[in-house]
Amino acid sequence: MLQEIVMAMADLWRGRSAPEPARRRFTDVRETLATLREVSLFPWDLAPVVPATRPGEDVVVLVHGFMATAGVFRPMKRRLEESARAVVASFTHPPGVGVVRIAHKLRELVDAIPEGRKIHLVGHSLGGLVSRWYVQELGGHARVAQTISLGAPFHGTTHAHKIPVLVGRDLTAHSKVLRRIRERAHLFDVPHTSIVAKEDRMVVPNESAVFPRGKVVLLPGRGHNTLLYDAESIGHVVSSVRLRGG
């Protein structure tokens, strides 16, 4: 198995297609490593981070997913600061809380950022739903330059029934919250980019991660948590912030 994974990596590096079984194993290994990295970052950035800013600066607000913390964004945060010259804000929400309550916490954080800054919301998984709820339902359209989602289940996921807490109901295919987000997607002119992992096994089917409007980036060979640390995934986030930045 290890030899097949190494050969698959070599083929991908050379631009050739690896055999399907080896490609799947490589994707699985990469997703496992990303999940372990995510867990290792849980203890960091538990308190809200609202850095000092100057007028006209780009401020990226990171919104994490279910059973995570803002710490999982640390590698992406570093790239945004170095490559996009952005200031990064974040907060950690408790596990199990629904989309609407988290969106109110997001509003409190954005309200603490002075006017005259270009605000970009980047949400992983549940965080992508929260970002759009804030924009469409809580007046966020007046402050936000764009939203970017990474593996956000806008059309629900078949795994939602496994989450026996309030947020689980928000993630079903028949969720009233998700239906309202989709139905009101075109009401406000806030651009959106959906970054979708083709091998996402948390958001099933993976096309559920496509928002009804805006740009779609499909990344083959990536899983749900890999999106947080994959160089190409982070590169798309950085490029979007540069494109719509100040």
pLDDT at 96: 86
Q: CA 146, CA 240: separation in Å to the nearest integer?
A: 9
Mean pLDDT of the chain: 92
CB 66 within 8 A of CB 125: yes
Strand, helix or coil for residue 192? strand
Q: What is the pLDDT of residues 156-176, one digit of tens each?
A: 999 887 776 678 899 999 999
As assigned by CATH, the class of the 46-243 domain is alpha beta
Contact present, 150 and 195 (Cβ < 8 Å): yes
Closest C-alpha among 188, 206, 189 to residue 197: 206
pTM of the model as a whole:
0.91
Transcribe 111-163 into DSSP letters: HTSPTT-EEEEEEETHHHHHHHHHHHHSSGGGTEEEEEEES--TT--TTGGG-
Name the residue ranges covered by the structural domains of the chain: 1-40, 46-243
